[in-house]
Amino acid sequence: ARFDTVIHGGTLVTAAETFKGDLGIRDGRIAAIAERIEGGERRIDAGGRLVMPGGIEAHCHIAQESSSGVMSADDYYTGSVSAAFGGNSCFVPFAAQHRGQSIDAVLATYDGRAAPHSVLDYSYHLIVSDPTQTVLHEELPRAFARGITSFKVFMTYDLMNVGDAGLLDILTVAKAHGALTMVHAENNDMVKWMNARLSGAGATEPKYHAVSRPELAEEEAIHRAVCLARLVDAPLFVVHVSTRGGAEIVSREKARGTRLFAETCPQYLAFTRADLDRPGMEGAKYICSPPLRDEATQEALWAHVAGNVFDSVSSDHAPYRFDAGGKFLNGADAPYPKIANGMPGIAARLPYLFSEGVAAGRITLQQFAALSSGNAARIFGLTSKGSLMPGFDADIAIWDPEARRTVRLEDQHDAMDYTPFEGMELTGVPVTVLNRGASVVHEGRLEAVRGQGRFVARAPSGQGPARGYRAPEFEAAARYGVEIAP
């Protein structure tokens, strides 16, 4: 057999096992896995290092305006390059609808932002902030038909949140088409009530950001979102779970068979609200929503990562520079509610998870493969990705599991002027990334051509075994001769 590329002398990590072997690539796909493969126009010497499925970053904000109109620092070039240096071969940023915008126009805008620039394969999750009848019944089905099979909604932020009825409408449409609804779950009124009290007390420094968004705001909203999803028996993905209580709801609901998926993020494992209380405005670097919590929460979240309660660990890369074009769009000493929300970390996600997860003995290599890639591929309908199996895309990351590196801004290769992970000493470095067999990063050097990534049309999302559940009230209505079931 002819191979374009052969990766030899590596230790292969699949979902089920870890073994020494070679991997042959033909026409962008994995063509063979065997103890020894000869030939290949290009031979890559893995040198005993780990050959793993390339990471899939399923939560990141790239070339996206926040609700307050700030553009993220990373575009599809710097964002994808940074992702690749972090061991990813594919990413799924958001395409955000702001109120009044048509979904068709939003997607055309993001196609223009992504296609000419991305060095990695990509798709979008659509953010829906304005679920009009046209959006629900014409535009979302059109987006779904072109392979955008996940719709994200916010339960917080005045300019984005769709309300419970809007969430029910979107869940219903998503379910009808085989799409997955993703949710940012925080109780908006609880946060606003806290904001008003803090502002009345003159408490405006960055550290109050974490005070203003209580753990209970997340727990309540996760529980509410799950109830709304259960009412219409639609699958749900809860993004960036940051609390023990939230993780426990997810765990309980999964155990009872709810089609529920969830992620947490490195920042909730690595930092605490104490990081918001750094001198001057330094704490603004750690402002993200939901906010950082405490050490006990870190331990609980790690336990749920290790216990497979979380399906993925995603970066929620939301890059706003430490300047007037980013964090401080409202001035250098703005009160915390007027500082841009978000932390960067698309390049640090997997090195952090490898070091503190695998190297520290909290998770296995198989769990790492699942949390970094395999589960996102399965959940979000990236059916040709996320696995080292013949027939799958040759999306591969080669890791040196023993190399130690201190995190530095210049190694992130993003457009940011800080990394919250600066100075952290991590074990395990991704050295080479292939996307459909093409070199993106090789031995730490960028080899990609701008625009070489392709849009991936995704299969239906969130399609675990359906429960066929019908809320008893829909049954009652049917008995009365009224059909209101979704």
Smaller CB separation from ligand URP, 221 or 318: 318
Q: Nearest approach, Cβ of 345 to ligand URP (angstroms)?
A: 10
Q: Nearest approach, Cβ of 316 to ligand URP (angstroms)?
A: 5
Q: Nearest approach, Cβ of 258 to Zn ion (angstroms)?
A: 21
Q: Nearest approach, Cβ of 157 to Zn ion (angstroms)?
A: 9
Size of the site for Zn ion (CB under 5 A): 2
Smaller CB separation from Zn ion, 74 or 316: 316
Q: Nearest approach, Cβ of 270 to ligand URP (angstroms)?
A: 15
Smaller CB separation from ligand URP, 81 or 127: 127
341 binds ligand URP (CB under 6 A): yes
Residue 342 interacts with, from Zn ion, ligand URP, none (CB under 5-8 Å by kind): ligand URP
Question: Which of 50, 288, 348, 415: binder of ligand URP (CB under 6 A)?
Answer: 288
Smaller CB separation from ligand URP, 122 or 154: 154
411 binds Zn ion (CB under 5 A): no
61 binds ligand URP (CB under 6 A): yes
Stretch that binds Zn ion, among 210-218, 295-303, 315-323, 427-435 (CB under 5 A): 315-323
Q: Nearest approach, Cβ of 346 to ligand URP (angstroms)?
A: 13
Cα three-residue angle 150-151-155, rounded to 5 degrees: 140
Cα 242 to Cα 433: distance, rounded to the nearest angstrom: 30
Cis peptide before 486 (omega within 30 of 0): no
289 binds ligand URP (CB under 6 A): yes
Contact at 8 Å (CB) between 152 and 94?
yes
Residue 288 interacts with, from ligand URP, Zn ion, none (CB under 5-8 Å by kind): ligand URP
Question: Which of 221, 318, 379, 431: binder of ligand URP (CB under 6 A)?
Answer: 318
Smaller CB separation from ligand URP, 289 or 373: 289
Smaller CB separation from Zn ion, 50 or 160: 160
Question: Which of 316, 356, 393, 414: binder of Zn ion (CB under 5 A)?
Answer: 316
Q: Nearest approach, Cβ of 239 to Zn ion (angstroms)?
A: 6
Q: Nearest approach, Cβ of 111 to Zn ion (angstroms)?
A: 10
175 binds Zn ion (CB under 5 A): no
Residues 147-186 binding ligand URP (CB under 6 A) are: 184
Residue 26 interacts with, from ligand URP, Zn ion, none (CB under 5-8 Å by kind): none
Q: Nearest approach, Cβ of 277 to ligand URP (angstroms)?
A: 18
The residue ranges that bind Zn ion (CB under 5 A) are 184, 316
Interface residues toward ligand URP, by CB under 6 A: 61, 184, 288-289, 316, 318, 341-342
